[in-house]
Every structure is written in structure tokens, then in C-alpha cells.
Amino acid sequence: MHLPRFTYVRPGSRDEAAGLLDTFGKAAVLVAGGTDLFPRMKYRISTPEYLVSLSGVTRFLPALDEDGALRIDALMSLGDLSRSPIVRTHAPLVSQAATCVASGQIRNAATLGGNLCLECRCLYYNQSHTFQFVEPCFKLGGDLCYFAPKGNRCWAIFASDVAPALLSLDTVICVTGGPGKQRRFPVAELYTGDALSPLTLLPSEIITEIIVPSAFGTGRHSFRKFSRRKGYEFAGLSVAVALQVADDGRTCRDARIAVGSVAGGPVRAAAAEAGLPGQDLSNSETVRSAAATAAQEIRPIAHHGYQAAHLRHCLEVEVLRALTEAAGPAPLADV
Amino acid sequence: MEHIKVVVHLLINGDAHDLAIAPEATLSEVLRGQLGLTGTKDGCGTGECGACTVLADGRPILSCLTLAFECQGREITTIEGVACNGELNPVQQAFIDAGAIQCGFCTPGMVLATIALLNETPHPSFAEIEKALEGVLCRCTGYNKIVEAVNRAAEAIAARLKGGTSCQTP
């Protein structure tokens, strides 16, 4: 399969790239690693006239702020992210989630920012539409959904593994829309939850860096990815848990539970989180009831052959495992 | 619209090439179509099979999802470039010795992924081998022998380093 023809543009800076995106409008697509975009272009799902490549942009290495927050370049490849000693020390959950993405080959090309901006996927959308599913679905500008023929919306899922990890760490996203048009906001505000247009970014905006605050960064955490094969596959669902624990080593001070691949964006299990502060994490009942609450409040969308009821059961199991792992081995009883 | 070609300067297996290519040409298309380096296989074309794996600055990437234009300034190694002075790379030899080749379509990708693994982790565990090779699909179900080959290659390279042989793996 060949890529469709396009005009290749390689700006020297992110601001310049944002300017080009602004000029070209809908005819242009931004590309960094290309591992998500190029397959779609080969399937002719996306046929941009201009390809604005970030390959000529200078990158910076991850570094700590004065307040202990870790700043990571959005153009850092997932492979570098999983190998970087500073990320592994100061944001181990991010590096763990990055290691779970796709295969080594893809991780060496794919970037952090690209993974946060993945296109939503479904079994029907992500394939060639030349001989079957020819009628355009919602995502292709039509008005039908192959997955839910009677439905009136797109039911694709957002499959990033890194996004739930960043969500659970209260990460801040920095974007630029051109010179003087920088803004920063919590990662939760990056996602609309609507599979048709999953991102809240303006068409000309580019993610420049992410900032992982120190509070959750080095706390207790766990990342779990559930899929049929253990290896190279998009997640059936992924769970990221970050905990702040009191000095006694078992009383929860604050908790974050984020789940990916269950909706049009990563979601937080807010009710399950709310029940945890002040609780004893070494008590298996506490953890069990939090997992049950998470499975009750989140309704996973069936996708890629996984049934909704199955995913909901797996969600409960994976949240339970993640919480248990994050809480750590029960400290020795004070005898 | 007339389509403009661009001139690229690529460094492949230590040789410099100046080529006129279409901007949308992928590295695998240039390697196979223009340079005749057909050891790099074109499988799925969408990043699922890993048959097109090549090394860029020593790290495995998928040549079918990489624009050739963006490979300028990077040192590309294909399966044709891993043998040294007419002698097979220890990883290639280990694949032959272990019988880890059936149809051979995945083998270039497997060998290059193994070379990248052993450069970073000279004595990989089973889990590390699994993780490093997860991106290359073998449909002849030969994974046991492939894992065995990786272990043999690790031993062979360790023995070579002890013996002080000068041949460098990429």
C-alpha cells in the first residue's frame, strides 16, 4: 500500500508549524511519528493535501522544575520515554504506560504528543473502505454507524494507554497556537469524550510539552492493560491508578483512578476515588468496594469484539488489581 | 498537478545514496524499489507485522511507516548490512543453527529486532526477548525456535567478545 500524494512541509519550530496549520486549515494534517496517521492515510481514511511534519523541530530532554514537576517534550518518542532514567524515577507511571504501547518498532517512532492525540478507533472505521463498508460512517462524514446501525452517534473508542496514566497524575498540557498563543490546562480538558472529535484543541494548536506535578509523580501507582494477546495490541481497556499515602504507609490521602479504551476519551472513576481518602488501603474490603464502584459508574462501550458486560467485569478486576498493586504489600501488622 | 520529486541523501548500511524520490515515498519503498535492497520485506504496510523492520541509529523502526525523506541524517541498517566481511552476523548464524527460519518472511525483521535487543541487553530474559520481538509476527508458529536462536546468539556474541574478535555488530 502506498501513501496518497501530499505536499510535504517541514517547519523549523512549533510556532511556525502552528502558523502553517492555521494557513492551510482543514487541508493540512500535523504529523510527528506518523504511526497512527500513516496507516489511516494508506487506507485512504485520511487524505490531507498538506502534511506538516514536526521532524525538523528541535526537541528538549525531560527536566525537573524548581518545584519538582517533570517537564517532558511532547515530541519525545515513547521508546525514549520508557528508557529515560529521569522519567522512570520521577514519573514511573508514564514510562510504564509508554512501555505498554504497541511494539518496540512503533514506540521508537511514535511520540508522546501523538499518543495523546490518537484518532478514535473502531472495528469498521480503521480499515480500507473500498470494497466493504463503503457508505461513509459518521467519522467519514456520513450519517451512519456500522457498529450501532440504529445509533445516531459515533461509538469509536479512544485507545491511548498514556492518556489514562497522565490523567491519573493530574498532568498539565502546554499547547501553542502560534507566537504568543500559548496556553496550558489540565489533561482532562484535552478530551471532549465525543469520539467524532475527541480533542478540544483548536485546529492550529500543537501540544508542546506535558508537566507531571510532583504530588502524584513519585507516589504509589499501577498501570494495567487488558487485551486478548499480552503483547502488541490496542487495549481492551487500560487502568492507571495513582495514590498518595499517609506516613503510616497504608492510609489513603488521595487517589486517582483513570480508565482508557472504554469511551471516546479517557475517563476518571470519580465516585470510586471519592470513597478512598481516609481509608485503610491494606483492608481488602476497601479496595474491593472501590473496584465495584468503578465498575458501576463507568459503562464501557463494546469494541473490537469485546462485549460490554465482559469489559465491565474486566474493569472491576483490573481496578482491583491495580489498587492492590499500588497500595503495595500490606505492611507488617504492629505486633 | 505535476508531482515534484525531492532529492534526499540517505546513509544505508554505511553507503551514502543521493536519490530523487516522491515526498510520500516510505523508506521501505525506496529500499526495495530504488535501491534493490529487497531483504527488507513489505508485509502489511500498516505497522502490524514488523516484516519491514530496519535499524535507524541502532534502534528498530518500521520502514513502511517512515517517510524516506525523514531518514536523512540517520544511519539506516537493513538486513543486507549486518554481515561483516562476508561472514554472517552471529544472530543470523544462530537463526540458521536453531532452525528458526521456516518461510523466512519475518526473519529479516526478527534478526534486526534481535540485534537491537542484544546491543542493549546482552543477556536478555525470556520476558525481555518476548517484549523485544512482539512487533514482528511469525505465522509459521516458529516462536520457540526463534527464542532459542536469540539465546544462542547472546551466547555466541558473549563468546566472541571474550575472544576479542574485531567484527562489530551494527
> Tell me: the pLDDT tens digits for A138-160?
999 999 999 999 889 999 999 99
Q: ipTM value of the model?
A: 0.94
User: Please, how many CA atoms are within 13 Å of residue A136, restricted to the half-sphere of its CB?
Assistant: 9
Residue A27 forms part of a structural domain: no
Residues B95 and B64 in one domain: no
Range of the domain at B52: 6-80
Give the H or E element holding residue A207.
strand A206-212
Predicted confidence band of residue A334 (pLDDT cuts 50, 70, 90): very low
Q: Are residues A321 and A274 in the same domain?
A: yes
* Helix axes of B143-163 and B107-120: crossing angle, nearest 10 degrees: 50
A167-216 pLDDT tens trace = 999 999 999 999 999 999 999 999 999 999 999 999 999 999 999 998 77
If one counts every other C-beta atom within 10 angstroms of the C-beta of residue B123, the result is 11
Task: Give yes or no: residues A261 and A210 share one domain.
Answer: no
- The CATH number assigned to the domain holding A281 equals 3.30.390.50
User: Is A20 part of any domain?
Assistant: no
Kindly state whether residues A88 and A199 are assigned to the same domain. yes
Q: Give the amino acid at A121.
A: R
Please give the mean pLDDT across all residues of chain A: 93
Average model confidence (pLDDT) for chain B?
93
* Contact assessment for residue B66 and residue B27, using Cβ atoms and an 8 Å cutoff: yes
- Which DSSP category does A33 fall into? S
Model confidence at A65: pLDDT above 60: yes
Q: What is the pTM of this model?
A: 0.94
Asked if residue A335 has pLDDT above 50, the reply is no
Q: Can you tell me whether residue B77 is helix, strand or coil?
A: strand
CATH of the domain at A182: 3.30.465.10
Give me the helices (H) in B4-135, please.
Answer: 27-29, 90-97, 107-120, 126-133
SS3 content of chain A, % helix, strand, coil (to 5): 30, 20, 45
Flag if A232 and B134 touch (Cβ within 8 Å). yes
Q: What is the mean pLDDT of residues A32-56?
A: 96
Instruction: In whole angstroms, give the CA distance from residue A127 to residue A199.
Output: 22
CA distance B136 to chain A (A): 8
Q: What is the mean pLDDT of residues A246-250?
A: 86
CB proximity B6 to A under 8 Å:
yes
Whether B95 has a pLDDT exceeding 90, the answer reads yes
Do B97 and B54 belong to one domain? Answer: no
Would you place residue A218 in the very low, low, confident or very high pLDDT band (cuts 50, 70, 90)? low
A323 and A259 within one domain: yes
Q: Are residues B128 and B152 in the same domain?
A: yes
Question: A333 falls in which pLDDT band (50, 70, 90)?
Answer: very low
Q: How many domains does chain B have?
A: 2
If asked whether residues A188 and A233 sit together in one domain, one would say no
**Quick check: A45 contacting B, CB < 8 Å?**
no
CB neighbours of A31 closer than 8 A, spacing ≥ 6?
A37, A38, A51, A52, A53, A54
Mean pLDDT of A232-254: 92
Count the domains in chain A. Answer: 2
Is residue A113 predicted with pLDDT exceeding 50? yes
So what's the pLDDT on residue A216? 74
Nine cell digits for residue B73: 541524517
Among B3, B61, B130, the residue with its CB nearest the CB of A109 is B61
Are A273 and A176 part of one and the same domain? no
The total number of residues shown for chain B amounts to 170
Q: Which of A8, A43, A104 sits opposite B69 (nearest CB)?
A: A8
Q: Is any Cβ of chain B less than 8 angstroms from the Cβ of A104? A: yes
Residue type, A289: S
Distances (CA, A) of B112 to A42, A233, B107: 25, 21, 8
The domain of A276 spans 222-327
Residue B139: give its domain's CATH number: 1.10.150.120
Q: Give the domain-ending residue among B19, B52, B80.
A: B80
Q: How far apart are CA B52 and CA B27, in angstroms?
A: 9
B110-125 residue pLDDT tens: 999 999 999 999 999 9
CA distance B64 to chain A (A): 9
Of B66, B69, B113, the CB nearest to A104: B113
Q: How many Å is the maximal CA-CA distance in chain A? A: 72
Same domain, A180 and A298: no
User: DSSP 3-state assignment of A203?
Assistant: coil
Q: Say whether both B144 and B113 belong to one domain.
A: yes
Instruction: Supply the DSSP symbol for A23.
Output: H
Spatial separation of the C-alpha atoms in residues A46 and A40, rounded to whole Å: 6
